[in-house]
Structure 1
Amino acid sequence: MSTFSRSRFLPRRDFIAGALAVTLVPTGVRAQAAPRRLRCSFDGQVVTYRLFDNPTTRDLVSMLPLDLTIEDFSTNEKIAHLPERLDEGGLQPFDDEKPGDLCYFLGWGNLAFFHGDYRFRGDLIRLGHLEGGVAPLLHKGRYPLRIEHVE
């Protein structure tokens, strides 16, 4: 048996070196960070969203560009159905809901473009918020929708 006794904890310099390595080496998440903005165009209307960085947003961005259909739903939102469900890893409660939010609805797997007041019910993942006013979203009807990232 050795007379040298090793601590069961990492030496401080090894801990610091490891911490620096983690912050300096890009991980898959950092290397695939979502574009910061998203543009949605329909029937001559254009809206731009500033995106939040979460797994659901990154999954949506990986599908871009998208050609979908946007339509009115209820009195406070437009919706667009996606070709496939998104990663639900971005789900977290929020209590500062406001018109202009872009959300993913877990129930149907669709995008919700809110132009009026709404409440978080545990089935929405917030993806981003509208830059500018909600007026373009008040344009009633069902239209082809193009979603693409903005450089």
Structure 2
Amino acid sequence: MKKLLCLASILVTSVVLAACGNNNSSATDRNHNANDNLNREPEQSKEDSISNARIKLTFDHKEVVVRMYNNPVSKDFLARLPLTVTFEDYIGKEKISILQKKLSIDDVQAGNQSKKGDFAYYAPWGNLAIFYKDFEDSTNDLMILGQIESGKENFENVDGAFTVRIEKVTK
């Protein structure tokens, strides 16, 4: 009887220790993963890091220079340049132009909020958007392609539709 009680005691102790060991390793794994996530840049900022690529938008003897972000949608757009497109005003905050062929958004998650100076792509409509005013209630379906570096004010006072030549800026 003593042997049976001793074996039962050893068995219970082993199970408890094994369970504690598993919980500790799971906790260690969770802490390790949490630390990895803290040390890692957020996915959005990685996709939207500034690149060296710039584009120039030319219209009515004016120029706007945009520094492009380093993301797949921006790269797809850059590969299509040069382009000539027509922009028009939309709700007094942005100029839009519907592209003839939609940009590839595979494996890219939208969800950016726009701000003044953003050069963006609105996937549901397949259009470019240039925000010349802040737009706090903007949609979550925007993909920011770049940020205007110079000439932002050139969009604010353009009335009606206007033709824009977009090309890469070479050093």
Residue 127 of structure 1 aligns to a residue whose secondary structure is strand
1:121 Cα deviation from its structure 2 partner: 2.4
d(CA) in 2 for partners of 1:108, 1:51: 21
Higher relative contact order (CA 8 A, sep 6+): 1
1:94 Cα deviation from its structure 2 partner: 3.7
C-alpha change, 1:35 and 1:85, in structure 2 (3 Å) is: farther
Verify: 1:111 aligned to 2:128, yes or no. yes
Larger Rg: 2
Paired position in structure 2 for 1:86: 103
Paired position in structure 1 for 2:154: 136
Structure 2 segments unaligned to the other structure (5+ residues) = 1-50
Q: Is the 8 Å Cα contact of residues 50 and 130 (structure 1) preserved in structure 2?
A: yes
d(CA) in 1 for partners of 2:75, 2:60: 26
Q: Is the 8 Å Cα contact of residues 65 and 149 (structure 1) preserved in structure 2?
A: yes
Deviations 1:74-96 (A, max 9, x none): 1100011111000114434345x
**Aligned residue pair count:** 117
Deviations 1:24-51 (A, max 9, x none): xxxxxxxxxx761011111222101000
How does the TM-score come out when normalised to structure 2?
Answer: 0.63
d(CA) in 1 for partners of 2:112, 2:87: 25
d(CA) in 1 for partners of 2:89, 2:54: 23
Verify: 1:101 aligned to 2:92, yes or no. no
CA RMSD of aligned residues (A): 1.7
d(CA) in 1 for partners of 2:163, 2:65: 16
More helix by share: 2
d(CA) in 2 for partners of 1:103, 1:93: 11
Residue 60 of structure 1 aligns to a residue whose secondary structure is helix
Q: Is the 8 Å Cα contact of residues 96 and 128 (structure 2) preserved in structure 1?
A: yes
Verify: 1:60 aligned to 2:71, yes or no. no
Q: Is the 8 Å Cα contact of residues 91 and 124 (structure 1) preserved in structure 2?
A: no
Q: List structure 1 runs of 4+ shifted beyond 2 angstroms.
A: 89-95
Percent of pairs identical after alignment? 35
